[in-house]
Amino acid sequence: MQHAVNPWVAFAYLVAGVCFILALRGLSSPTTSQRGNRFGMIGMAIAVVTTLVTHVPTITVLVEGADYAALLSAIDTVAVFEIVAAIALGAAIGLTTARRIAMTAMPQLVAAFHSLVGLAAVLVAAAAYLNPVAFGIALPLLTPDGAVALINPVSRVEMGLGVAIGAITFSGSVIAFLKLNGNMGGKPILLPARHVINLGVLAASVALVGYFTLDQSPWVFWTITILSFAIGFLLIVPIGGADMPVVVSMLNSYSGWAAAAMGFTLHNSAMIITGALVGSSGAILSYIMCRAMNRSFISVIAGGFGAEASAGGAGGTKTDRPWKRGSAEDAAFLMSQAEQVIIVPGYGMAVAQAQHVLREMGDKLKAQGVRVKYAIHPVAGRMPGHMNVLLAEANVPYDEVFELEDINSEFAQTDVAFVIGANDVTNPAAKTDKTSPIYGMPVLDVEKAKTVLFVKRSMGGLGYAGVDNDVFYRDNTMMLLADAKKMVEDIVKALD
């Protein structure tokens, strides 16, 4: 294969890569996130247009069986209509989904998108394996009947890694979607000897990828694909609901590496750059979140992290203990008399879409001289940054939003901790109960506040991890049982 390098194409892909880097930099802060999104869209537009206006160069091959080597040229034509139709169909689906999707369903939407990236990598690898000449990865040697003799060994490594990572991403993301969407339970599904099984399947896949460089037989390629699909399933099934935000981040990293591997196969530098950026940033985010949750990064890769204990142990059983119930009027009076109120949002706030009225409540409290802050746990919600996105959507000032490590020490000097739909991330069992599936995860110390107002739909729920919360039954806790949005609306009326 001979590739004519167009410097303008390389330059365009370089500009797109710079835009992607600026996009990631912008997305690192809420104040610059919109600008980061714009850079990302510009970079993707440049990459897509550049790819569409260029074509695959001439393919040159040598034919065996002739007295003299002969050059054969074949120009690959681009099916413009099919490409445009596919882009239009994808754009229509994307626009419709973006307009209709609720913020509460954003985590499972992200998981679904990750699965599509993984499946795309598998399909590209399969197409390249079945027709290597079209992808320019065949050695310049054909048999007399025209059948491909060999695929470039380097391309086989890229293809093997791409199909393996893509298959893991696809099946793992499908399981994550089912868990996040409620089609599967949030409790860990612990298979017997799962670590031995995972290690054995992973070792077999790695060995086959290595063997694939020596033997490109169909059984080798398809066995790698099937085993990789199985690994994705085995890695995500044992992971409980409390750890799902880390799973989403990890799968995001996998999807990036799958795209990068396919970029080598397609000889597309934009895919390589983008995939490497997504893969590395996702891995860094997973590492940061693991540190925040006191989890081992290696155990994340192995699967089933944080799931050694049974979810049905002491931390997983609902207890029948006395608790105090309050009203919106009680909550309004306590918060209006406070010097500082720390609001702790969780997935229950997202489900009720209560972020806008919650900001209104905060504004009214500030108007009465109360200092208001928002405490965000790194795994609150169902994906990294879920609560930050919701609060930003409601125009909550960025300087009032604090991460766990920055605000946890303030609860002891706070008059009221207002918890709205956050269960697992405020559960003291993570610090005291070694049988709890969330043991070892840093939590927000809301129980140290003078008064805890806990908004919850009912006392029957145990949170996504299936763990009862000791805070419900403490003397300084008042339970506000109602739909989160309705309760906050009633509090706002009482503050008036």
Report how far residue 43's alpha carbon sits from residue 277's, in angstroms, rounded to the nearest whole number.
13
Q: Is residue 330 annotated as part of the catalytic site, yes or no?
A: no
Pairing of strands 451-456, 416-420: parallel
What residue spans of 408-468 are helical by DSSP H? 429-432
326: left (phi over 0), alpha (psi -120 to 50) or beta: beta
Which residue shows structure tokens 């506000």? 480
CB of 349 closer than 8 Å to CB of 420 = yes
d(CA 39, CA 201): 40
- Whole-Å CA distances, 446 to 69, 140, 404, 411, 459: 79, 68, 11, 6, 18
For 440, list phi and psi in degrees, rounded to 5: 95, -10
Structural Rg of the chain based on CA atoms: 27
Contacts of 146 (CB under 8 A, 6+ apart): none
Tokens, residue 413 = 């000097």
Marked catalytic residue, from 424, 433, 468, 490: 424
**Counting beta carbons within 10 angstroms of the beta carbon of residue 417, is it exposed (0 to 12), middle (13 to 18) or buried (19 or more)?**
buried
Residue 393 is encoded by which pair of tokens? 């959507």
Distance of CA 165 to the CA centre of its chain: 15
How far is residue 372's CA from residue 398's CA, in Å, rounded to a whole number? 12
3-state secondary structure of 325: strand
Please report the DSSP string for 221-272 in residue order: HHHHHHHHHHHHHHHHTT--GGGHHHHHHHHHHHHHHHHHHHHHHHT-HHHH
Contact indicator for 470, 427 with CB cutoff of 8 Å: yes
Provide the H-helix boundaries in 131-152. 132-135
Q: Which residues contact 43 (CB under 8 A, 6 or more apart)?
A: 15, 16, 17, 18, 19, 20, 22, 23
Active site residues: 424
